[in-house]
């Protein structure tokens, strides 16, 4: 299992919970250029953990980032995310999630994009999964 699979499974899980469709409202790796409103799921740095060669947990900082034309939509998303986390001990796709917990606080903020004001939300989580064996790129 690699980080790409984990990020895809996490994005699909968030999409299911928010009733969004992957690549049409929610996007893995951020919101693509040219998309006016949407939600992006981005993995950040891996958090070093201890374990042995067989089963071991791996953890990442992850961000759910959204932008909307109006503040109300951002507030609804923020409320949904606050109600969704923390989560623990479930399998989705190929990923065995140990826990997902919020990290820090989140407040809506505004940005200007193409002459229009957008309301954004950045919701940060720590995500831990159970993996097996060596994690290498198999190209």
Structural domains in the chain, CATH included, are 3-132 (3.30.2000.30)
CA nearest neighbour of 37 among 45, 27, 47, 29:
27
* pLDDT for the residue numbered 7: 96
pLDDT of residue 132: 64
For the chain, what percent of residues have pLDDT higher than 90?
Answer: 76
Confidence of residue 55 (pLDDT cuts 50, 70, 90): low
pLDDT above 70 for 54: no
For 6-25, the pLDDT digits (tens) are 999 999 999 999 999 999 99
139 pLDDT above the threshold of 50: no
- Residue-wise pLDDT for 99-116, tens only, equals 999 998 888 999 998 899
Task: List pLDDT tens digits, range 68-101.
Answer: 999 999 999 999 999 999 999 999 999 999 999 9
> Residues in the chain, how many?
139
Q: What is the mean pLDDT of the chain?
A: 89
- pTM listed for this prediction: 0.88
């Amino acid at each position: 299992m690699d980080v790409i699979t984990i990020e895809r499974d996490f994005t699909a899980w968030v999409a299911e919970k928010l009733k969004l469709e992957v690549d049409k409202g929610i996007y893995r790796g951020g919101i693509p250029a040219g998309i006016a409103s949407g939600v992006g799921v981005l993995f950040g740095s891996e958090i070093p953990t201890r374990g042995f060669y067989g089963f071991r947990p791996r953890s990442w900082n992850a961000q759910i980032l959204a932008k909307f034309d109006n503040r109300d939509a951002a507030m609804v998303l923020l409320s949904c995310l606050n109600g969704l986390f923390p989560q623990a001990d479930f399998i989705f796709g190929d990923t065995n999630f140990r826990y997902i917990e919020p990290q820090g606080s989140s407040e809506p903020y505004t940005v200007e994009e193409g002459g229009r004001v957008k309301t954004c939300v950045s919701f940060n989580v720590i995500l831990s999964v159970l993996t097996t064996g060596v994690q290498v790129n198999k190209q």
